[in-house]
């Protein structure tokens, strides 16, 4: 059990104190999205030890052995006047920042953010986030953080390897939720902190983005206020705005 009585006491009063823990689910995002459609409240958190059908961005499969990752999704119901759907990326950024901060508090390892919302140590992937709208105006944001295992044969690492020490997933979860509760709603600060922690800005990148044939190569120069990556094309010099796409940092190209 990740959330014991002591953890619940620490979370008391936090927007994200309502934590449901399951040993196994298909996908924390899928289950929480269904609960959202049934009327589940803002701030509900679902955490699991194992996902039998975990998913990543762009419909990729996401797998991890039981008990080796932090698998968590949060349900957000922001008022449109407070955070319109076009700005939902800020809520996702808040989740990514809170997760990175939790890693740093737990181990001293300070992950950076690879656009749009991967956590990386150097250029090795530590975690990924996936945001989905169940269709009722709510937002489900899921995170899969490699704690004691990383997928072999990929450019990935886990927090225990990066830190050289064991990591308590329960402590990590509580720190993440408390941090998210603190950041949530402070949107100008979230955008500023995201840009500071984003390792993609200033890098030479290759981008495959939807709706555009071929590959875009150039320098990532900014993340705009709508969360899109701005890339200066190395061929034309034009600035291209990328809303959705796969980014590879230069020395992996």
Tens of pLDDT, residue by residue over 167-219, are 999 999 999 999 999 999 999 999 999 999 999 999 999 998 766 667 899 99
Q: What integer best gives the mean pLDDT of the chain?
A: 92
Is 90 exceeded by the pLDDT of residue 8? yes
What pLDDT does 134 receive?
A: 85
pLDDT for the residue 1: 84
pLDDT of 59 reads 55
Distance CA 206, CA 215 (A): 7
Local confidence band at 253 (pLDDT 50, 70, 90 cut-offs): very low
Query: How would you classify the pairing of strands 69-76 and 45-51?
Result: antiparallel
Q: Is the peptide bond before 116 cis (omega within 30 degrees of 0)?
A: yes
Q: Per the confidence metrics, is the pTM higher than 0.85?
A: yes
Mean pLDDT computed over 137-159: 95
Q: What is the pLDDT of residue 135?
A: 83
Q: Is the pLDDT of residue 233 over 60?
A: yes
Q: 117 pLDDT exceeds 50?
A: yes
Contact (CB, 8 A) for 178 and 10? yes
Q: Which residues neighbour 111 within 8 Å (Cβ) at sequence distance 6 or greater?
A: 99, 100, 103, 104, 119, 120, 121, 126, 127
pLDDT digits (tens, 9 = 90+) for 235-244: 999 999 998 8
CB 113 within 8 A of CB 143: no
Q: Which pLDDT does position 214 carry in this prediction?
A: 72
Q: For the chain, what percent of residues have pLDDT higher than 90?
A: 81
Q: Tell me the per-residue pLDDT of 56-115, one tens digit each, with 9 for 90 and over.
A: 554 556 567 889 999 999 999 999 999 999 899 999 999 999 999 999 999 999 999 999
pLDDT value for 251: 64
- 3-state SS of 128-167 is EEEEECCCCCCEEEEEEEECCCCCCCCCECCHHHHHCCCC
Contacts of residue 34, defined as CB under 8 A and 6 or more positions apart, other chains included, come to 134
Contact predicate 43/36, CB 8 Å? no
Q: How far apart are CA 231 and CA 51, in angstroms?
A: 35
Q: Which domains does the chain possess?
A: 5-197 (3.30.930.10), 204-252 (2.30.30.100)
pLDDT of residue 53: 72
The confidence score (pLDDT) of residue 252 equals 45
């Amino acid at each position: 059990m990740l959330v014991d009585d002591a953890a619940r006491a620490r979370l008391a009063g936090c927007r994200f104190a309502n934590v449901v823990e399951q040993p196994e689910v298909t996908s924390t995002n899928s289950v929480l999205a269904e609960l959202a459609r049934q009327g589940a409240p803002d701030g509900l958190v679902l955490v699991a030890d194992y996902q039998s059908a975990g998913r990543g961005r762009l419909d990729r499969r996401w797998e991890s052995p039981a008990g080796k990752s932090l698998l968590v999704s949060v349900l957000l119901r922001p008022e449109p006047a407070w955070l319109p759907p076009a700005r939902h990326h800020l809520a996702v950024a808040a989740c990514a920042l809170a997760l990175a901060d939790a890693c740093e508090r737990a181990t001293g390892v300070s992950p950076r953010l690879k656009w749009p919302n991967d956590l990386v140590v150097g250029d090795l992937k530590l975690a990924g986030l996936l945001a989905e709208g169940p269709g009722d105006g709510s937002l489900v944001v899921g995170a899969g953080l490699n704690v004691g295992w990383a997928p072999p044969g990929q450019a990935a690492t886990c927090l225990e390897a990066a830190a050289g020490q064991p990591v308590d997933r329960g402590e990590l979860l509580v720190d993440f939720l408390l941090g998210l509760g603190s950041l949530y709603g402070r949107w100008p600060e979230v955008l500023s902190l995201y840009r500071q922690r984003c390792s993609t800005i200033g890098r030479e990148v290759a981008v495959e983005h939807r709706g555009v044939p071929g590959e875009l190569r150039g320098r990532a120069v900014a993340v705009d206020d709508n969360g899109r990556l701005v890339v200066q094309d190395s061929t034309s010099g034009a600035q291209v705005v990328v809303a959705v796409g796969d980014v590879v940092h230069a020395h992996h190209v």
